Amino acid sequence: MHKKSSTYLSDPTRSQRMFDLLKRSAKGVLSTRHLLQRSSGHRFILCYHHLASRIGGVDASVYTTTIERFKDHLSALSGVVDFVPLDELIHEDARGRKRNRASITFDDGFTSVFTIARPLLRERGIPYTVFLNGCAVEHGQNWVSNVLSKDTDPGYATGLMDSAGLAVDKGAVPMDPLAVVGAIMERGSFGERFVQAYRSDPAPVDLYMGRAEVKQLVKERVVVGDHGWDHPVLSRCDAGFLHGQLSKGSDLIAELVGERPRHFALPFGKKEHFNAGTLDLLASQGFSTVHTTNPNNLKWTTTRNGLHIVPRIGFTDNSVDEVFFYLNRSLLRHYDL
């Protein structure tokens, strides 16, 4: 028996096939609702951005969920979690509860949240939170969606990359807009020169909510949090520019909501997109909770200067099986992202 096992394990081809089979089997189990139905006391914060009838153009795959897919998510999840307000979810002790609980959040402040998600969620009695970019509210612009909407204008992309301090081979254009966004995120510097460059052309019309829509959400008791003014990578901002990004956003939300925001969603939200200095400044400005895009279930594992740093699981146009996979995976594995 020992010899047979040793021979089996020493065969890399057979071992790899067995590993692949086990991996597929495990993924199959995680892609169903069964684990969630049989578990209790878990909490999840879900992150969405934009809803549209299709994927393409400015309705980019990196942040868009189709309307039908979003409806499928709500229907499937309503069978295995209770949707609750964000503050209730964060500050409760979920131990002993018979069902898992979740909160829905939307980043950036897309108009589709108001026109599409809002009636769908109100019909189902599901609370939600929006995290706003101040520039999107005031000027209808976000540099990421600007790049994606100008994919036929290589001059805009090269100018924006130059303003972020990136060397550009102008003979290599046209460039893929997602590659432009990725390069700026990974290596760019964010400052006033960059802001002036990305706002140099008109933005897509009515892509983001304005003041009137935000005020209506406030009347309906939707929680409004801050997401930075211009959606920069906070770890790639100098101190003065960073302070302005946070203070301007808080000031605008305080004006629209009537109180300063308690929640801050980090733009992009992975560990390379913020640092200790970012968190210290957020704490000094009175935020109590900082939201990452670390795809874990909610546990109190990280605090700094009184800030609770919490994970969110992001979705775009994922299938229902994928939604269950990401939620179930978070019960079994912690991702340090």
Q: Which of 165, 236, 153 is CA-nearest to residue 194?
A: 165
Q: What is the C-alpha to C-alpha distance for residues 238 and 287, in angstroms, rounded to an integer?
A: 20
DSSP at 200? S
Q: What is the C-alpha to C-alpha distance for residues 211 and 182, in angstroms, rounded to an integer?
A: 30
Q: What was the pLDDT predicted at 21?
A: 54
Reduced to 3 DSSP states, what percent helix, strand and coil does the chain have, rounded to the nearest 5? Answer: 50, 15, 35
Q: Beta partners for 205? A: none
Q: Within 10 Å of residue 248's Cβ, how many Cβ atoms? A: 17
Segments of the chain scoring below 70 in pLDDT: 1-12, 14-30, 93-96, 170-174, 300-302, 336-337
Q: Where are the alpha helices (DSSP H) in 59-151?
A: 67-78, 86-91, 111-112, 118-124, 134-139, 143-149
Helical packing angle, 276-284 and 239-257, nearest 10°: 40
Q: What was the pLDDT predicted at 173?
A: 53
DSSP at 223? E
Q: Within 10 Å of residue 205's Cβ, how many Cβ atoms? A: 8
Virtual CA dihedral for 183, 235, 317, 218, nearest 10 degrees? -140
Query: Which residues have C-beta within 8 Å of that of residue 4, sequence separation ≥ 6?
Result: none
Q: What was the pLDDT predicted at 153?
A: 80
Q: Which amino acid is at 1?
A: M
**pLDDT, tens digit, 9 for 90 and up, residues 28-84:** 656 777 788 778 888 999 999 999 999 988 899 999 999 999 999 999 999 899 999
Strand 307-310, strand 303-304: pairing: antiparallel
Residue showing tokens 């979740």: 102
Q: What is the C-alpha to C-alpha distance for residues 182 and 152, in angstroms, rounded to an integer?
A: 17
Q: Where are the alpha helices (DSSP H) in 92-238?
A: 111-112, 118-124, 134-139, 143-149, 154-163, 177-187, 192-198, 211-219
Are 74 and 119 a contacting pair, CB within 8 Å?
no
Q: What was the pLDDT predicted at 24?
A: 57
Q: What is the C-alpha to C-alpha distance for residues 110 and 210, in angstroms, rounded to an integer?
A: 9
Q: What was the pLDDT predicted at 1?
A: 47
